[in-house]
Amino acid sequence: MINIHGKLIFYCVDNMAFEFLSENLKNLQTSIAEICRKCQREVSEVTLLPVTKRQPLEKLQALYDLGERHFAENRVQEMLEKAEVLPKDLVWHLIGPLQSNKVRHALSYASYIHSVDSIKLLNRIERIAQEDGKEVKVFLQINITGEEQKSGFAEADLDAALKVAESFLKTTVVGLMTMGAVSDSEEETKEVFSKLRELRDKWQIEYPELKQLSMGMSGDYQLAIPEGATYIRVGSLLLGNREY
């Protein structure tokens, strides 16, 4: 039993939840493998991140029992509440916005932060990581489309952020993250992913640890993988509707 957002939630892995997730996971893995085959990539290059926002613990436990070890959460508090009761060998990824005053809480469990969108936040993560003796890997979120409703660095500011992080002791910038275009056009979405890959390729020459690309979700991961995605963030397609 765990208290999440004021609700007492009991969880156990029942057969229906297990079979539901087993089938979804199998279908998703098959899809990823087929996409990788077509674009001549190794399946091992793509890590699936189940997005567990507002999903019950029984589903997370079922995914764990099916072999998944990387989970992604949008909110710090929800990640903490789940991480405290789920198996300790899970690797937690924070993919939602991170406020400066929640960095210390985030670092108590998050091994990866995908949503670093300012130099101020980048510096704070490093300071807290040093104080608490934590190692953390981060992605710089890039606003490829320049849309006002999206967070992230402008392309022109990426160099400055990478230079700041170059001297860090506990925080490693391992990649770039972006969201697909707010559009029904596959071509526009592919262009966003392609531009992120080009940025990574350009700056990886100077910053060799900049290897990863976090891009692609339930509706567009099929477009992200051929463009070089190494982490895809999949929620509803794998776990179904959110339940609380």
pTM score over 0.85: yes
DSSP, res 15: H
Q: How far apart are CA 111 and CA 120, in angstroms?
A: 20
Residues ≥6 apart with Cβ < 8 Å to 162: 140, 173, 203, 206, 207, 210
> Does residue 149 have a pLDDT over 80?
no
Q: How far apart are CA 208 and CA 206, in angstroms?
A: 6
CA angle 22, 24, 26 (to 5 degrees): 65
Q: At 178, is the secondary structure helix, strand, or coil? A: coil
> Does residue 145 have a pLDDT over 90?
no
Structure-token match 């929640």, residue found: 102
Strands, E, within the chain: which ranges? 2-4, 7-9, 47-50, 70-73, 91-94, 110-116, 136-141, 171-177, 212-214, 231-234
How does residue 151 score in pLDDT terms, banded at 50, 70 and 90? confident
**Helix (H) or strand (E) run with residue 38 in it:** helix 15-38
Q: How far apart are CA 122 and CA 116, in angstroms?
A: 6
In this predicted structure, what is the pLDDT of residue 12?
57
Phi, psi (5° rounding) for residue 237? -60, -30
Under a CB-based contact definition with an 8 Å cutoff, are residues 153 and 117 in contact? Answer: yes
Could you give the count of Cα atoms lying within 13 Å of 107 in the half-sphere of its Cβ? 25
DSSP state string for 208-244 = TT--EEE---TTTHHHHGGGT-SEEEE-HHHH-S---
Q: Among residues of the chain, what percentage have pLDDT more than 70?
A: 94
In this predicted structure, what is the pLDDT of residue 71?
98
How does residue 17 score in pLDDT terms, banded at 50, 70 and 90? confident
* Domains of the chain listed by start with CATH number: 2-239 (3.20.20.10)
Mean pLDDT on 215-236 = 97
In this predicted structure, what is the pLDDT of residue 148?
73
In this predicted structure, what is the pLDDT of residue 10?
44
Under a CB-based contact definition with an 8 Å cutoff, are residues 13 and 65 in contact? Answer: yes
Antiparallel, parallel or unpaired: β 70-73 and 231-234: unpaired
Under a CB-based contact definition with an 8 Å cutoff, are residues 223 and 180 in contact? Answer: yes
